């Protein structure tokens, strides 16, 4: 269908009228009025109206030509009321020849619309949100043709951009009275912290936005050619993904890429893009429009499979936009400015790692989840990440100053000077605190009553290793080996695994490193492994359960660990063990690998310790029995607590319903610590709670002598423990956590204790 771009093809008549309407510098209200005038004239209809959604969801008649002007800003419809409401609900155009006889028709006398028969309503969509509805009506009973529907959809897109652009700059505050387009420049979003920390930086949009200036095509033929070229590049890159790497892909991974290919070659998708360009949009705007339509529909779909497909389509649309902007689609590091804060709808771990870590200051996502791979990696590398910042992409511009407050979960956009100063003050305090931690870096964590506590690091990637020295950690108490698998595009080879483990052991020097064998399954899905759909993945086929049922991967990993620790000390532990037999079986599997290495004449580790992660209540009640077989026990408090309280740790609705400082959880932790001590087996605890000073103080009081935590916890926990009299705290805790206790947390008691004792918590 390529045309000669030198032949100027004028955009359709309606688009020309719209372009003229946009050329003026009037207020938004005047522009809306110009739009409805242009629509009535170009489409030869009697009525054109714009309904915009208020924050409450109601639809307000905001401009009209043909209905009574007196109804503007007066007529309000419920979001599900009438034909206009129906368009909002379905996010699709509604095209009727005889509107008044439609069962949903709702007559508003103040508008005088009873005499109009035909009705064409299209949603004003942006980013999956429906901002309003654009309506054309005429007296004659007729169905609007496809071209007219297309044209109106295109106008709706232009409108959406104007509305959002105006919201963003706050330039016409109050001019569209009733519709809060008011927020002026500085804005604060309250969202969810998925990786903590304070960051100040400049906004960088993962996908560059389409702005009103580049919405309308000057030359339709030239845009058609750009679109065709972009689609061809996209297809070539997807073909390369499928064919080039297919040999080394698992079936599931091939399926994912095949799905991409299917979408990239989907005739309907490309047809929709072409139609959008033909209606007068630029190629970028066409991609955006079709994406908005898909988003609005798929997000409403009750079918989780369909909703999941949205992610693939989004990814494809992003790639196409990148191709259109002239960016290469082959993988490689992306250019970003120093101190960049990335804004995206969602971000996969591979996309995150495409950015130069040195220049990244933080991440903001409209979606995201605490348990997502990206969140896990951000926590591991100490990069603040705030997610669920709904609608933020509509409000941010490339290069805006941004403050990320990973303590409160707030994002401040274009902050005023006083906020900047206050934030800077906190950053400085953090710096001072960091310097204070620096001063105690080499001090052993000894409590006032003489208990020595080993503070170790939770790690998993190469980038974590230097933290051992900078934070002054006593070793790595939890090396999450699955991270390497999660961030890789393909299954890491034996050599890659061995190299990583070796690096960790070398970086630790004389300090211990405890490798946790693969904890896959549940939410930790590998792109190259067949997904197993499960009703309750957290209590499904995961971790050691997979390792025992399909031992090849686990044996392979054991091989890598044995090789990496040649002539060194090797500590390994198995996750999600529920029964003693499971542990015995896993240990036997490991022993077979040691024997194999020995029979092949390989150099063995000079010391081997095989431990168990205690993360299930059932194993807590078998603590003594498992101690007969394990060289050490490490309590995985994150999982233990989710199973103990029956509250999915990744479900925002339930994850915070309990406090780990509940008497019941503290008494099970004491039971475990005492059981191990009685058996003479070292016990440690890893998981988020060990990295919080208040919780850490309690854990030490309960008898734990090794705590493993994220890097950010080491300084604060050490500072607290140096001032702690663990025995005194134990005396306070003991009666509070008895089985008679009615408390749902002892946090306040412990906090007061710490304040009195001068413990920094």
CB of 87 or CB of 544, closer to Mg ion: 544
Taking the complex as a whole, the smallest distance from the CB of residue 636 to Mg ion amounts, in Å, to 4
Taking the complex as a whole, the smallest distance from the CB of residue 561 to Mg ion amounts, in Å, to 19
Query: Cα(36)–Cα(48) distance, rounded to whole angstroms?
Result: 5
Interface positions with ligand PEP (CB under 6 A): 478, 480, 519, 615, 636-639, 686-687
- Among ligand PEP, Mg ion, none, the one that 123 touches (CB under a kind-dependent 5 to 8 A) is none
CB of 225 or CB of 538, closer to ligand PEP: 538
Residue found by looking up tokens 């988003």 in the block: 295
Query: Cα(335)–Cα(204) distance, rounded to whole angstroms?
Result: 10
Residue 466's CB is within 10 A of a number of other CB atoms, namely 11
Question: What's the start-to-end Cα distance of the chain, in Å?
Answer: 68
Taking the complex as a whole, the smallest distance from the CB of residue 615 to Mg ion amounts, in Å, to 5
- Among Mg ion, ligand PEP, none, the one that 686 touches (CB under a kind-dependent 5 to 8 A) is ligand PEP
Eight-class DSSP state of 464: G
Residue found by looking up tokens 């809306």 in the block: 32
CB of 627 or CB of 641, closer to ligand PEP: 641
CB of 406 or CB of 477, closer to ligand PEP: 477
Secondary element (H or E) of residue 486: helix 482-487
Query: Cα(143)–Cα(170) distance, rounded to whole angstroms?
Result: 39
- Among ligand PEP, Mg ion, none, the one that 122 touches (CB under a kind-dependent 5 to 8 A) is none
Taking the complex as a whole, the smallest distance from the CB of residue 326 to ligand PEP amounts, in Å, to 41
Supply the DSSP string of 684-726, one letter for each residue.
EEESGGGGSHHHHHHHHHHT--EEEE-HHHHHHHHHHHHT--H
CB of 77 or CB of 637, closer to ligand PEP: 637
Which residues in the 341-400 window bind Mg ion by CB under 5 A? none
Task: Output helix, strand, coil percentages for the chain, rounded to the nearest 5.
Answer: 50, 15, 35
CB of 144 or CB of 194, closer to Mg ion: 194
Taking the complex as a whole, the smallest distance from the CB of residue 554 to Mg ion amounts, in Å, to 16
Query: Cα(339)–Cα(393) distance, rounded to whole angstroms?
Result: 19
Query: Cα(504)–Cα(509) distance, rounded to whole angstroms?
Result: 9
CB of 43 or CB of 577, closer to Mg ion: 577
Measured at the CA of 616, the angle between CA 615 and CA 620, to 5 degrees, comes to: 95
CB of 201 or CB of 687, closer to ligand PEP: 687
Q: Is 314 in the site for Mg ion (CB under 5 A)?
A: no
- Among ligand PEP, Mg ion, none, the one that 480 touches (CB under a kind-dependent 5 to 8 A) is ligand PEP
CB of 497 or CB of 708, closer to Mg ion: 708
- Among Mg ion, ligand PEP, none, the one that 687 touches (CB under a kind-dependent 5 to 8 A) is ligand PEP
Which residues in the 618-647 window bind Mg ion by CB under 5 A? 636, 639
Supply the DSSP string of 569-613, one letter for each residue.
EEEEEESS--SHHHHHHHHHHHHHHHHHHHHTTPPPPSEEEEEEE
Taking the complex as a whole, the smallest distance from the CB of residue 496 to Mg ion amounts, in Å, to 23
Taking the complex as a whole, the smallest distance from the CB of residue 539 to Mg ion amounts, in Å, to 12
Q: How many chain residues are in contact with Mg ion, going by CB under 5 A?
A: 3
610 forms beta bridges with: 572
Taking the complex as a whole, the smallest distance from the CB of residue 655 to ligand PEP amounts, in Å, to 13
Taking the complex as a whole, the smallest distance from the CB of residue 339 to Mg ion amounts, in Å, to 34
* Token pair listed for 281: 């949009």
What residues make contact with Mg ion under the rule CB under 5 A?
A: 615, 636, 639
């Amino acid at each position: 269908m390529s045309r000669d771009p030198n032949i100027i093809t004028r955009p359709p008549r309606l688009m020309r009228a719209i372009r003229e309407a946009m050329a003026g510098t009037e207020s938004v209200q005047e522009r809306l009025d110009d739009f409805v005038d242009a629509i009535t004239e170009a489409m030869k209809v009697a009525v054109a109206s714009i309904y915009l959604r208020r924050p409450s969801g109601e639809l307000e008649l905001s401009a009209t030509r043909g209905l009574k002007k007196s109804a503007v800003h007066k007529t309000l419809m419920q979001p599900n009321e009438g034909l206009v409401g129906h368009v909002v609900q379905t996010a699709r155009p509604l095209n009727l020849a005889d509107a008044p006889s439609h069962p949903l028709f709702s007559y508003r006398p103040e508008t005088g619309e009873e005499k109009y028969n035909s009705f064409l309503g299209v949603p004003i969509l942006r980013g999956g949100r429906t901002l309003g509805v654009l309506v054309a009506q005429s007296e004659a009973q007729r169905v609007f043709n496809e071209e007219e529907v297309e044209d109106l959809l295109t106008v709706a897109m232009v409108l959406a951009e104007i509305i959002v652009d105006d919201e963003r700059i706050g330039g016409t505050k109050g001019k569209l009275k009733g519709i809060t387009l008011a927020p002026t420049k500085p804005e604060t979003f309250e969202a969810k912290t998925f990786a903590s920390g304070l960051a100040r930086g400049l906004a960088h949009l993962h996908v560059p936005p389409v702005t009103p200036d580049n919405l309308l095509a000057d030359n339709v033929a030239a845009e058609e050619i750009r679109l065709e070229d972009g689609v061809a590049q996209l297809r070539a890159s997807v073909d390369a993904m499928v064919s080039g790497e297919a040999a080394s892909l698992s079936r599931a991974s091939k399926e994912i890429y095949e799905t991409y290919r299917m979408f990239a070659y989907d005739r309907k998708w490309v047809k929709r893009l072409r139609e959008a360009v033909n209606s007068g949009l630029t190629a970028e705007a066409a991609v955006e429009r079709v994406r908005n339509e898909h988003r609005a529909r798929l997000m409403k779909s009750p079918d989780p499979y369909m909703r999941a497909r949205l992610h693939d389509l989004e990814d494809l649309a992003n790639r196409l936009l990148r191709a259109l902007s002239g960016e290469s689609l082959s993988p490689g590091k992306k250019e970003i400015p120093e101190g960049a804060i990335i804004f995206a709808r969602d971000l996969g771990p591979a996309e995150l790692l495409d950015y130069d870590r040195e220049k990244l200051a933080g991440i903001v996502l409209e979606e995201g989840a605490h348990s997502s791979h990206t969140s896990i990696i951000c926590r591991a590398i100490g990069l603040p990440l705030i997610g669920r910042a709904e609608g933020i992409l509509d409000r941010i511009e490339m290069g805006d100053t941004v403050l990320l407050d990973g303590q409160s979960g707030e994002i401040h956009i274009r902050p005023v000077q006083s906020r900047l100063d206050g934030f800077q003050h906190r950053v400085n305090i953090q710096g001072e605190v960091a310097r204070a931690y620096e001063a105690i870096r080499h001090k052993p964590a000894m409590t006032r009553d003489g208990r020595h506590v080993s503070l170790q690091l939770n790690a998993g990637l190469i980038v974590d290793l230097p933290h051992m020295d900078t934070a002054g950690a006593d070793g790595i108490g939890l090396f999450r080996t699955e991270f390497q698998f999660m961030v890789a595009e393909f299954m890491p080879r034996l050599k890659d695994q061995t190299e990583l483990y070796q690096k960790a052991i070398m970086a630790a020097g004389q300090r211990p490193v405890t490798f946790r064998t693969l904890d896959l399954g549940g939410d930790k899905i590998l792109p190259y492994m067949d997904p197993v759909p499960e009703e309750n993945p957290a209590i499904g086929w995961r971790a050691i359960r997979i390792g025992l049922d399909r031992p090849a991967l686990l044996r392979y990993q054991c091989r890598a660990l044995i090789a990496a620790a040649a002539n060194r000390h090797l500590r390994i532990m198995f996750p999600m063990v529920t029964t003693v037999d499971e542990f015995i079986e896993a240990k036997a599997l490991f022993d077979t690998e040691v024997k194999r290495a020995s029979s092949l004449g390989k150099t063995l580790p000079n010391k081997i310790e095989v431990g168990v992660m205690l993360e299930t209540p059932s194993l807590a009640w078998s603590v003594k029995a498992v101690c007969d077989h394990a060289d050490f026990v490490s309590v995985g408090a994150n999982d233990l607590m989710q199973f103990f309280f029956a509250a999915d740790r990744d479900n925002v609705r339930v994850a915070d319903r309990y406090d780990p400082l509940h008497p019941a959880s503290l008494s099970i932790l004491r039971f475990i610590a005492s059981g191990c001590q009685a058996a003479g087996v070292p016990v440690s605890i890893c998981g988020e709670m060990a990295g919080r000073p208040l919780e850490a103080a309690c854990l030490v009081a309960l008898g734990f002598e090794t705590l493993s935590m994220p890097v950010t916890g080491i300084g604060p926990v050490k500072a607290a423990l140096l001032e702690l009299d663990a025995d005194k705290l134990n005396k306070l805790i003991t009666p509070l956590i008895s089985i008679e206790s009615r408390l749902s947390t002892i946090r306040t008691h412990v906090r007061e204790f710490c304040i009195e004792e001068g413990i920094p918590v």
